[in-house]
Structure 1
Amino acid sequence: MQLDDHISSIYFIGDVHAQHTKLEALLTEIDFDDTDPDSECKTAKLVFIGDLIDNKQTNNDQHIITLQRVQSLQKNGHALCLLGNHEFNAIGWASKNENGEFCRPHNEKNTKQHRAFLNAVGEGSAEHNRWIDWFKSLPLFLSFETVNAIHACWDEQAIERLKPYLNADNSLKEVHWVDAFNEQHELFELCEILLKGPERTLPDGEFFIDKTGTKRTQERVKWWQEYQGDKPVVIGHYTLNELPEPLTHKVVCVDYNAAKDDNVLVAYRVDTQLDADNEQLFGGAR
Structure 2
Amino acid sequence: MTATAKIEGYDLIGDVHGCGATLAALLEKLGYHQRGGVYRHPRRRVIFLGDLIDRGPRIRLAVSIARRMVEEGEAEIVMGNHEVNALAYCHRGPASHGHDWLREHSPRHNRIINETLEQFRDHPQEWEEALDWFLTIPLCLERDGLRVVHACWDQPLIDDLRRDHPDGRIDKAFLVESVTPGTRAYRILDRLTRGMHIPLPEGVQIHSGDGFTRRSFRTHFWARQPKTWGDVVFQPDNLPGDLEQRELTHEESARLSYYGPEQPPLFIGHYWCEGVPALPTSNIACLDYSAVKFGRLVAYRWSGERRLDADHLVWISVPREEEARPQPWEIDFD
TM-score normalized by the length of structure 1: 0.88
Report which stretch shifted further, 197-206 or 135-144.
197-206
State the SS of the aligned residue for 1:265: strand
Match of 1:204 among 202, 205, 208: 202
What is the CA–CA distance in structure 2 between the aligned matches of 1:282 and 1:231, rounded to whole Å?
A: 16
What is the number of residues matched between the two proteins?
Answer: 272
Q: SS where residue 163 of structure 2 aligns?
A: helix
Runs of 4+ in 1 over 4 A off after TM superposition: 280-283
Q: What code does the residue aligned with 2:60 have? A: I
**What secondary structure, in the 3-state scheme, does the structure 2 residue paired with 1:90 have?**
helix
Partner of 2:8: 8
8 Å CA contact retained: 2:265, 2:308: no
Q: Which residue of 2 aligns with 1:195?
A: 193
2:144 aligns with 145
Q: Please, which runs of 5 or more residues in structure 1 have no aligned partner? A: none
RMSD of aligned C-alpha atoms?
2.2
Q: Which amino acid aligns with 1:113?
A: I
Q: Is the 8 A contact 1:13 1:49 kept in 2?
A: yes
1:266 aligns with 2:298: yes
Q: Distance in 2 between matches of 1:127 and 1:136?
A: 15
1:124, distance to aligned residue in structure 2 (A): 9.9
| C-alpha distance in 2 between matches for 1:208 and 1:125 | 36
Q: Which runs of 5+ in 2 are unaligned?
A: 225-258, 315-334
Distance 1:21 1:215 in 2: 30
| Matching residue's letter, 2:151 | A
Q: Which AA in structure 2 matches 1:73?
A: M
Matches within 5 A, 1:44-63: 44-55=44-55, 61-63=57-59
Quote the Cα distance in structure 1 between the aligned partners of 2:172 and 2:284: 31
State the shift of 1:282 in Å: 6.0
Equivalent runs, 1:22-41 vs 2, <5 Å: 22-35=22-35, 41=41
**Structure 2 letter corresponding to 1:186:** R
Confirm whether residue 162 of structure 1 aligns to residue 158 of structure 2.
no
CA contact (8 A) 1:240 1:256 kept: yes
Q: How does 1:183-262 map to 2 (within 5 A)?
A: 183-226=181-224, 227-228=259-260, 230-261=263-294
Change (3 A) 1:68 1:162: same
Contact 2:14 2:299 in 1 (8 A): yes
Three-state SS of the structure 2 residue aligned to 1:259 is helix
What secondary structure does 1:205 align onto?
A: coil
Hey, what's the Cα distance between the residues in 1 that align with 2:28 and 2:6? 21
Whether the 8 Å contact between 2:16 and 2:23 is mirrored in structure 1 is yes
Q: Residue 289 of structure 2 aligns to a residue in which SS? A: coil
Correspondent of 1:285 among 313, 316, 319: 313
More moved, 197-206 vs 234-243: 197-206
The answer as to whether partners of 2:263 and 2:283 remain within 8 angstroms in 1 is no
Deviation at 1:165, TM superposition (A): 4.1
Point out the structure with max Rg over C-alpha: 2
Partner of 1:182: 180
Measured against aligned partners, the alpha-carbon deviations of 1:108-149 in whole angstroms (never above 9, x if no partner) come to 011011001011122993332211111000010000121100
